[in-house]
Homo-oligomer: A and B are copies of this chain.
Amino acid sequence: MDSSLLFLLFTILTTTIPTVEPKSNSYPISFPRSYHPSLIQTKEPTPNLPFKTHFFPQILDHFTFLPQSYSIFYQKYLINSDYWDNGPIHRAPIFVYTGNEGDIEWFAANTGFMLEIAPKFHALLVFIEHRFYGESKPFGKDSYNSADTLGYLNSQQALADYAVLIRSLKQNLSAEASPVVVFGGSYGGMLAAWFRLKYPHIAIGALASSAPILQFEDIIPWTSFYDAVSKDYKDASLNCFDVIKGSWDELETLSARNQALVALSRTFRTCKNLQSVYLATNWLWRAFVYTAMVNYPMQANFIMPLPAYPVEQMCKIIDGFPPEASKLTKVFSAASLYYNFSGTEKCFNIENATDAHGLSGWEWQACTEMVMPMSRSNESMFPPSTFDYKAFGEQCMMKYGIQPRAHWIITEFGGTRIEQVLKRFGSNIIFSNGMKDPWSRGSVLRNISSTIVALVTEKGAHHVDLRYSTKEDPDWLIEQRRKEVEIIQRWIDEYHAGFEENN
């Protein structure tokens, strides 16, 4: 199943989405918070993954020395040593994926890039699962019960886990002299970049793909994300943009009518009659946002099976209608591409497309440290909205009994004036981004120094560079990956040169 990474897309997106339908929003329709991984995750084992599974006894709390901090949990990690031939002797590199919010197998299966470049580097591959996800739950099935257990889930603990595990692994392999390069996409990319910044003695470099490390506080405009989504559709077709933008009003008008839900259920070909207009909104919204994120240049099955350049395809569908057709009919057809590209769906389970407000790890992280304010301007194709720290805090308080530490990430990891800060500090980070990906706006898009570089593609989407290569890969993607390999090779060469110099 290729839909695995969807999880991280969805979950990272939930940050700014209110848990409940808004009470006093400027517009009655809001983006629901309820994209839970459990709806998307398929628990089938990913077939033929060339990894061996291991478990590492990890300490519960690296940053306090309370008696309970010493508890051990078993952290999962995957290893491929097919190309690691006498690696320790040759100081061959170790490539580590800094796992994000999901089962580590999904990330392994969707980061074919690492497997493909491993032979060239004779690299050992390690994929480490993030604490509280997959099988790495410190309190087993009770891990998500409350703040008393979830309290140990955060990015700093995760980074420390990686540091401890990598150091121990190198020791066990007698590979202390092997350089480590970290890789990650999305939140995993944020972790990779932060790991290089905080643990430069453990990783010589980081490839941080689609890593929105600047999506905090007021570093970038709060409207960036939705503006970028809107731009994707506007670039494809101005009419398409206008139709989508206008559809929310049409939906609202319709919802005021008699028998609105019956009519809507018919228009949207729902399997069961709709109980709320909100569900239809959510269903449309999700299709447009996620299609923008995975607007890949090749047919792919990442979130859903989709054709190449799916945004353009959606807009072609919208533009193909006669002007007089209702906007709702048009957007429904476009969204159907997202939900039914295979053509096998006879009706849509819109009711089930959102779930109850169960707990999930990312929602916890979003309610504690990963507070990414987002709003929607009048110019976006979505209904305008603002972000309110206070309201957000109240929701988190209601849900978990704790307040978000909305300013913590910047305090801990920086981000403000990042170019000035890192111009003379740090090195060896690649920030790769595709401008079609709305998350790109929260990442680093310009070279900061000769060794902290941005690889930006105009047509790329959410960490497309980390995926397996395909025959349909366009030249710009091949070139982006080639540059990444070249830069990583340089890090390793410099490391080896320095090693010999000093020995």
- Partner-B contacts on A (CB < 8 A): 59, 61-67, 69-70, 147-148, 150-154, 156-157, 160, 163-164, 167, 197-202, 368-369, 401-403, 405, 407-408, 410-428, 451, 494-495, 498-499, 502
Contacts and interface: CB of A to CB of B under 8 A. Distances in A.
Given A61-B64, A160-B412, A424-B427, 14 more contacts: A62-B412, A63-B156, A64-B64, A64-B152, A65-B150, A65-B151, A65-B154, A65-B405, A67-B151, A67-B401, A69-B151, A199-B414, A201-B418, A425-B425
Contacts of A421: 200-201
Complex copy number for this chain: 2
A499 B403 contact: no
A428 B422 CA distance: 12
A73 B200 CA distance: 32
A427 to B, nearest CB: 5
Nearest to A421: B201
Contacts of A369: 65
Contacts of A66: 147-148, 151-152
A148 B413 CA distance: 28
A426 B423 contact: no
A147 B495 CA distance: 41
A70 B494 contact: no
21 contacts: A59-B405, A62-B63, A62-B408, A63-B64, A64-B152, A65-B150, A65-B368, A66-B151, A67-B147, A67-B148, A67-B401, A67-B402, A160-B411, A164-B411, A199-B414, A201-B418, A202-B414, A417-B502, A420-B502, A425-B425, A425-B427
A58 to B, nearest CB: 12
User: Which 8 pairs across A and B sit closest by C-beta, in order of nearness?
Assistant: A201-B414, A66-B151, A63-B63, A200-B425, A65-B368, A65-B151, A201-B421, A420-B498
Contacts of A148: 66-67
Q: Which one of A153, A407, A408, A412 has the highest number of Cβ atoms from chain B below 10 Å of its Cβ?
A: A412
Given A63-B63, A151-B69, A402-B70, A422 B502 contact: no
A490 to B, nearest CB: 11
A67 B160 CA distance: 21
Nearest to A424: B427
A219 B415 CA distance: 33
A428 B425 CA distance: 8
A416 B499 CA distance: 12
Contacts of A157: 63-64
Contacts of A494: 424
Contacts of A414: 199-202
A250 to B, nearest CB: 42
Contacts of A63: 61-64, 154, 156-157
A371 to B, nearest CB: 12
A147 B420 contact: no
Contacts of A410: 201
Given A61-B63, A424-B428, A427-B424, A201 B152 contact: no
Contacts of A67: 147-148, 151, 401-402
Contacts of A426: 200, 425-426
A406 to B, nearest CB: 13
A204 to B, nearest CB: 8
A154 B201 CA distance: 21
A199 B198 CA distance: 9
A336 to B, nearest CB: 41
A143 B358 CA distance: 38
Contact of A420 (B152, B153, B499): B499
A199 B410 CA distance: 10
